Amino acid sequence: MNIGTGSAERQVYIGGEYVPENEARVSIFDHAVLYGDAVFDTACAWGGKVFKLDEHIDRLFESAHALKIEIPLDKAGVREVVLEIMRRNKLESAYIKIIVTRGVGRMPLMSPYNCEPNLIAFAIPYLSLIDSGVQQEGIRAGISSMRRIPSESLDAKIKCCNYLNHILMRMEANEAGLDEAIELDIGGYVAEAPGYNVFIAKQGVLYTPGENILVGVTRQTVMELAAAAGMETVVGRLTAFDLYNADEVFLTSTAGGIFAVRELDGRQIGGGKPGPITQLLNQRYTELLESGEQSTPVHPPADA
């Protein structure tokens, strides 16, 4: 993929233009570079259709509005940029990222005023943060010693480009020989994992945190799939104890789908492998992606 080296073939969108990846430039004075002052959203395409594209764009606009960043295009314009990036790169299944920076101000200072926002979008061949082995076996995770930044400090619903809190927790887990971290809030309740929402299954009922979390599009999809399968989902506070004693624990994200946590802090979860509810929901999620029922076609119909 030449990620990081620049490709003359792959096209990206930046600053109002479609350019080869190796010609894309962001100013060193952009607030995204200086302060992490930007928002983003991540979507996926499957079989020539972008899954829940409008929901991702809505969330991008909500994040930007909360930070008083004016996106240079309207929602229809951003939608067309995403689809055109897919078309220009001749992609059918892809990992898509849309970024809006506050931009460059008159001086390289922290002032958020008089900046010109910058819209960036790229699509690369579909990639998953997990492999087939993880789907079959599940991951090993640990409760992080650090805590999720509370929403009183920075609302977790804002999908901003400052992920240092998540990165440090993932580093801690990885350097302890684990696959992933589970984040608690400052009250000791389960929040999320770095880049993932958390679910548990207990006696046929799903539970998921509702505070200090990014409200994931995949999380919402899982709750819809569970309801269609006749399962109840309870949104509320969970503790580490609840996770240790769950029948199943699984994580959800756009780039990871649905996958099980088989072990947490050295404690086996349930049967120590993906349970029946995790497997069922993952199957239904994959079927939904493949059906295109809730997706936007990259190419307009031939008779359009």
The verdict on 186 and 141 lying in the same domain is yes
* Structural domain span for residue 27: 11-125
Structure-block tokens of residue 76? 């229809």
The verdict on 275 and 209 lying in the same domain is yes
Residue 64 within any structural domain of the chain = yes
The verdict on 136 and 201 lying in the same domain is yes
Distance CA 151, CA 197 (A): 16
The verdict on 259 and 153 lying in the same domain is yes
The verdict on 208 and 234 lying in the same domain is yes
The verdict on 223 and 244 lying in the same domain is yes
pLDDT in tens, the chain (304 residues): 445 445 568 999 999 999 999 999 999 999 999 999 999 999 999 999 999 999 999 999 999 999 999 999 999 999 999 999 999 999 999 999 999 999 999 888 899 999 999 999 999 998 765 665 677 899 999 999 999 999 999 999 999 999 999 999 999 999 999 999 999 999 999 999 999 999 999 999 999 999 999 999 999 999 999 999 999 999 999 999 999 999 999 999 998 899 999 999 999 999 999 999 999 999 999 999 999 999 999 997 765 5
The verdict on 159 and 98 lying in the same domain is no
**Among 125, 143, 160, where does a domain finish?**
125
CATH number at residue 205: 3.20.10.10
Please tell me the predicted confidence (pLDDT) of residue 202: 98
Residue 3 within any structural domain of the chain = no
The verdict on 91 and 180 lying in the same domain is no
Residue 6 within any structural domain of the chain = no
Task: Give me the phi and psi of 206, to 5 degrees please.
Answer: -90, 145
At 149 the three-state DSSP class reads: coil
Residue 200 within any structural domain of the chain = yes
Residue 302 within any structural domain of the chain = no
The verdict on 63 and 80 lying in the same domain is yes
Q: Where would I find the beta strands (DSSP E) of 8-167?
A: 11-14, 17-20, 38-46, 49-51, 94-104, 116-125, 139-147
**Among 63, 97, 125, where does a domain finish?**
125
Residue 295 within any structural domain of the chain = no
Cα distances (Å, whole numbers) of residue 208 to 173, 185, 223, 282 = 22, 14, 9, 16
The verdict on 116 and 184 lying in the same domain is no
Please tell me the predicted confidence (pLDDT) of residue 107: 85
Residue among 36, 49, 161 nearest 97 (CA)? 161
Strands 38-46 vs 248-253: parallel, antiparallel or unpaired: unpaired
CATH number at residue 44: 3.30.470.10
The verdict on 23 and 96 lying in the same domain is yes
Domain count within the chain? 2
Task: Give me the phi and psi of 196, to 5 degrees please.
Answer: -135, 150
Q: How many CB atoms lie within 10 A of CB 20?
A: 13
The verdict on 30 and 90 lying in the same domain is yes
Please tell me the predicted confidence (pLDDT) of residue 5: 46
**Among 125, 140, 173, where does a domain finish?**
125
